[in-house]
Structure 1
Amino acid sequence: MKIRFGYVSTAVHLWEASPARTVTFTRYKQLEKDERYAKLLQVTSLNLKSTRRMLYYNLANEIEVYRLSSSIVPLATHPEVKWDFVSPFLEEWKELGDIIRKNHLRVSFHPNQFTLFTSPRDEVTTNAVGDMEFHYRMLEAMGVEKDSVLNIHIGGAYGDKGKTIHRFHDNVKRLPPQVKEVMTLENDDKTYNADETLLACEKENIPFVFDYHHHMANLGELPLDVILSRTFPTWERKNHPPKIHISSPKSEKAFRSHADFVDLNFLMPLIEVLRELKKDVDFMIEAKMKDLAMLKLIEDISKIRGIKRISGGAVEF
């Protein structure tokens, strides 16, 4: 079996390479009207260039898995701004997509925690649909929408989990079919555990993104081997193996917070179950030190007897 490793958004090893420079709405309003559009173009251009740098950095290090920043385009979904962020950058978006497709990279987006389908407030669901459509539009602009995913959490419980999960299934129907087709769901560290999220995925035919750290912070009743065994079938319609999110606690007291690096000892129960299952997976590293944490974890795992590093970004059991 093979594990490929990826990281989130920004390679901290690179200088001044943030793909998430932004313009606040307050700052936007302070600008003269003829300056506003120019500012949006300037910041988006810088973020696209940083994203291109990140992709080439990944290629140089044989990293095949990468989460794109959701903040490439500033104020794209703000109701008073909403602007055409594709037409001015057709070549730039296309270039990113060409790099991704030519090199068979696996990319994704993870919209923020406010993108959820459990709220009793209609405007929250409307905004969630809009945000998912925005992320899909970026994938579409790159020409990688068929082979990428948009990952979100189920959302809050609002005092009644049973009633709320039914509302989730109703509200998610508001997504355009092509957007729902690339949607995945992840278990969270406080509300919907792996058991509950997996069940929702099975019901909606949505791939399940298992977060191991969240699982340890919010245990359900299913044992780890059962969760993982049921995860694989949810990915059968995709061209990639299941994605698993990896991080470790900052401390016992701050268990839910992510540490700078990943503690291999914390990860070992997961590694052992995966060795037994003998199926390929991809690890998305969510540690604070991002690419550096990922590269260190690859080195640490490859020292385990029976595990061999086969590239800059992958190991084989």
Structure 2
Amino acid sequence: MKIGYPCVNESLTCSASTTFRLASYSAERVETVIANNLACLQRILEYNVAHGLHFFRIGSGIVPFGSHPINTFPWPTRFAAEFRALGDYIRAEKLRVSLHPDQFVVLNSPNPDIVQRSIAELEYQGTMLDLMEMDSTAKLQIHVGGLYGDREGAIARFIATYRELPERLQQRLVIENDDRLFSLQDCLRVHEAVGIPILFDNFHHECLNHGEPMADALRLAAATWHPTRDGVMMMDYSAQQPGERKGKHTSTLEEALFREFLTHLHGLDVDIMLEIKDKEASACRAIGVLRELQLVAAEATSAV
């Protein structure tokens, strides 16, 4: 079992997703920003290793305008060595990484232009994982997409688009159950059609479900992951922020709720991404809970 957090480390003084305005685009600026973002990503990974956090969601903004037509800078060749070195470090430290393309990635859109832009974004993010020589257990996490007033048609369009994707992207993609439109049962229908794994979100399942108990839902999702091709099931964990609208993620880990959630695993091995506002702070507390419960080894950590 691994614990992680997404994109940003608030304990460090750098960002791995620095960008700039499209109007100020230049090849020189792209090169400088990518170099700085990759250096910061290395610092984040080192921090994570020192604190026992072995799962990290890399931000989408490593390469500014990575899938935009304006970006003609040959970043995959210019930074091939840097990406490879990151991959070597990830493997050496037995880390796991993923990416979560932004909400504009909608493979089931009825608008062909949106679909093509979505595929271009997946190609860009998949290329980063390829350059790091990550195997197919490093995933790109997306949602089924929009409903467009027709659930059956929306699911059918996702399936049709997925089937047209290059195999290298198919092997990286996972779908997440969401809190308003597509439940775990909807995602299971997509999995049955094309074999895509389901990245389970416990909080979304609490918001939108068909009565499946949490333990049952976890096992249904875990069964969609091939043990070698996909690896251990990835999942997102969060909880409701008290006093806020339904679906608002908590700002910090509520340890009692986290402990209660862990009781539903019943020995199931999962890699847990905390979608919680204070990121690495909550992740470090979650690791403490897992060590106390002997769900991960009580290894030593050191400050960075």
Q: How does the TM-score come out when normalised to structure 1?
A: 0.88
The Cα offsets for residues 166-208 of structure 1, whole Å up to 9 and x where unpaired, read as 1111122221111111110101111101221132123211111
Return the alpha-carbon distance in structure 1 between the equivalents of residues 215 and 87 of structure 2. Answer: 36
Return the alpha-carbon distance in structure 1 between the equivalents of residues 166 and 226 of structure 2. Answer: 21
- Check if 1:290 corresponds to 2:288: no
The match for 1:17 is 14
How far off is 1:239 after superposition? 5.3
Superposed, 1:276-315 pairs within 5 Å as 278-300=267-289, 302-303=291-292, 307=294, 309-311=296-298
Q: How does the TM-score come out when normalised to structure 2?
A: 0.92
- Check if 1:266 corresponds to 2:257: yes
- Check if 1:58 corresponds to 2:48: yes
Indicate the percent of aligned positions where both proteins have the same amino acid.
27
Counterpart selection for 2:216 from 214, 226, 241:
226
The SS at the match of 1:293 is helix
How far off is 1:300 after superposition? 4.0
Return the alpha-carbon distance in structure 1 between the equivalents of residues 260 and 186 of structure 2. Answer: 21
Instruction: Name stretches of at least 5 consecutive residues in structure 2 with no aligned partner.
Output: none
Aligned length: 300
Contact 1:9 1:68 in 2 (8 A): yes
The Cα offsets for residues 267-287 of structure 1, whole Å up to 9 and x where unpaired, read as 455322212xx1211110110
Superposed, 1:1-317 pairs within 5 Å as 3-14=1-12, 16-28=13-25, 36-237=26-227, 238=229, 240-275=231-266, 278-300=267-289, 302-303=291-292, 307=294, 309-311=296-298
Return the alpha-carbon distance in structure 1 between the equivalents of residues 188 and 253 of structure 2. Answer: 25
Return the alpha-carbon distance in structure 1 between the equivalents of residues 142 and 190 of structure 2. Answer: 13
Return the alpha-carbon distance in structure 1 between the equivalents of residues 39 and 276 of structure 2. Answer: 24
Return the alpha-carbon distance in structure 2 between the equivalents of residues 256 and 84 of structure 1. Answer: 40
How far off is 1:27 after superposition? 2.8
Return the alpha-carbon distance in structure 2 between the equivalents of residues 188 and 230 of structure 1. Answer: 16
Out of 221-230 and 87-96, give the one that drifted further. Answer: 221-230
Contact 2:51 2:284 in 1 (8 A): no
The SS at the match of 1:243 is strand
Return the alpha-carbon distance in structure 2 between the equivalents of residues 176 and 236 of structure 1. Answer: 19
The SS at the match of 1:310 is coil
Amino acid in structure 1 at the alignment position of 2:156:
H
The SS at the match of 1:20 is coil
Amino acid in structure 2 at the alignment position of 1:7:
Y
Contact 1:76 1:83 in 2 (8 A): no
The Cα offsets for residues 90-124 of structure 1, whole Å up to 9 and x where unpaired, read as 22111101101222211111111111211100011
Return the alpha-carbon distance in structure 2 between the equivalents of residues 236 and 147 of structure 1. Answer: 10
Instruction: Name stretches of at least 5 consecutive residues in structure 1 with no aligned partner.
Output: 29-35
